[in-house]
Structure 1
């Protein structure tokens, strides 16, 4: 799983597990803005992935060091608990809770592995979120109007100052509190924006999270289990 995939998972899994960000105890509670928490509490309900959730998105990379040069990558992720299928940039990554399948279409090959506990920190939603769920201060950043749409903004500030990002901004539709975008402001001058274009709640079968070799004739299978 490359860094781009991990970044996408982090974005989307933050949305399905806002509770983790709100579960800070003791002194950290003073860093949680009550208004921001209230909004995220309500938004959480819209991103319940227990039975199945499909999210279409665009990932926008903005390089401020090169005059704001932008690269846009469309993608889709299917989520159900710790299972997922992520399709982005010609690569489909499947994880069924035990086995990972990475299918690279242009190479016509799929690599199959059973990730170790250490590997799971990069690819498993639950492991990924554990490193982030209590590491942020939270602040309500206000309401704005963009193209006639009223939006609410919440800023998250990492407690770990060595983090690559200084601020993560979550944007919600003011009326429905449905997620619109997440922006990570990079310290190195590279910003990453996830624009959510569609969210569909639908039950997902186990087969959605396993690569089907029968349906991909001629594909080279590299089984590293």
Structure 2
């Protein structure tokens, strides 16, 4: 679960009013926030990469997410985390088990994947970093710094934003232990029809799975 918690901390956050900081960075983030408010549903895939040269670690994994309001269905690192906004199921196929918990447990209030790509809206200072061209796209890079840095496993993050589409293309987290966590968005669609059944784990369809109720 540690990896999933880190993913939530990187990719997802809650809404808040921006403080007066870097004016150029604020303009980029305000545009992102305004656009995000028009999303009824999100369907996204991403590439997750973990690098730590000192520890000789270089891992890559694909992930996917769908969300609808407070509901979400996240696949990453061999785990499927599903929530209908009240209950959360963590299905681990290799272990043939599903863990059931409340959607929001103590200490995890900000780790809700339904808030995809809005990490910048709460608990961060920010400044404009640079303009780059990546894969033929004009990218604006904003650097984020957690206000409660002692409580975070990272010291800063880079947010890559497509200047034309006004969409996040990549998030890079700088860990305090020298690890770099990189999330590259490979596909992103919004406002598709998604049935509520996608946000509930159906134990009847998985009779072989051990159910572990942690509530």
TM-score norm. by structure 1 comes to 0.81
2:140 matched to 1:158? no
Q: Pick from 104, 128, 153: which aligns with 1:140?
A: 128
Q: Pick from 53, 63, 75: which aligns with 2:63?
A: 75
Equivalence map 1:15-26=2 (5 Å): 19-20=15-16, 22-24=17-19
How many angstroms apart in 2 are the aligned matches of 1:159 and 1:42? 22
**Distance change (3 Å), C-alpha of 1:111 and 1:164:** closer
Equivalence map 1:1-225=2 (5 Å): 2-14=1-13, 19-20=15-16, 22-24=17-19, 29=20, 32-48=21-37, 51-67=40-56, 69-114=57-102, 117-118=105-106, 120-121=108-109, 123-124=111-112, 133-162=121-150, 163-201=152-190, 202-225=192-215
How many angstroms apart in 1 are the aligned matches of 2:90 and 2:7? 15
Contact 1:91 1:102 in 2 (8 A): yes
How many angstroms apart in 2 are the aligned matches of 1:40 and 1:142? 14
Moved more, 57-66 or 160-169: 160-169
Higher helix share: 1
Which SS does the other structure have where 1:214 is aligned?
helix
How many pairs align?
A: 211
Q: What's the CA shift for 1:156?
A: 0.8
- For structure 2, the 5+ residue unaligned runs are none
TM-score norm. by structure 2 comes to 0.84
Contact 2:11 2:113 in 1 (8 A): no
Moved more, 39-48 or 53-62: 39-48
How many angstroms apart in 1 are the aligned matches of 2:166 and 2:120? 22
**Distance change (3 Å), C-alpha of 1:187 and 1:10:** closer
